[in-house]
Amino acid sequence: MRKKRNLDSLETLAHGKESRWRRHVSSQLSKLQTEEQRLSQLHEYVQEYNAPLTERRGSQSIMAMRSQRQFMDRLKDAVKRQSQTVAEKRALAEQGIQRWKHERSKRLAIQNYSARQREAEDRQRERRDQATLDEVGRNLFLGRYK
């Protein structure tokens, strides 16, 4: 009975750890998605602002072109930083997924072991019950034919 309680406790702990990592991964994936959307938005801005720059090149003053070029440089730097942020978030999400898979496999192993232990206990109980029934039957048989 004590062994069963210990296994139940282990199963509960393993399930809790797996659940925590599943929630963590979900959070990490949500953050990754947000950062990817920001990166996509920045790429759209680059395309949007780059098109007028090439079209109006001849009609703009040097100051306006310089200002436009500086803005594009800052925008491209923002894209580079955001790309790094996305890569970091992706790596964190991958690490979380690996940890969740590890915790899940531990939980499944504990569950399988616990199930095998319950089956062994059931077989042992059935053997004891059968031995008791055999003993009762033998006593009845011997009692009648003495």
- The answer as to whether 138 is a domain residue is no
- Give pLDDT, residue 79: 96
Domain that holds residue 98: 2-121
pLDDT digits (tens, 9 = 90+) for 57-93: 556 688 888 888 899 999 999 999 999 999 999 999 9
- The answer as to whether 18 is a domain residue is yes
Using left for φ > 0, alpha for ψ between -120 and 50, and beta otherwise, residue 24 falls in: alpha
Alpha carbons 85 and 32: distance in angstroms, whole number: 9
Supply the pTM of this predicted model.
0.71
Task: Count how many domains the chain has.
Answer: 1
Alpha carbons 87 and 36: distance in angstroms, whole number: 9
Task: Say what angle helices 2-55 and 62-144 make with each other, to 10 degrees.
Answer: 160
- Reference 46, options 68, 28, 18, 27; nearest CA is 68
- The answer as to whether 137 is a domain residue is no
Residue 16 sits in a domain whose CATH number is 1.10.287.1700
- The answer as to whether 143 is a domain residue is no
- Reference 91, options 48, 39, 32; nearest CA is 32
Residues of the chain with pLDDT under 50: none
Alpha carbons 30 and 21: distance in angstroms, whole number: 14
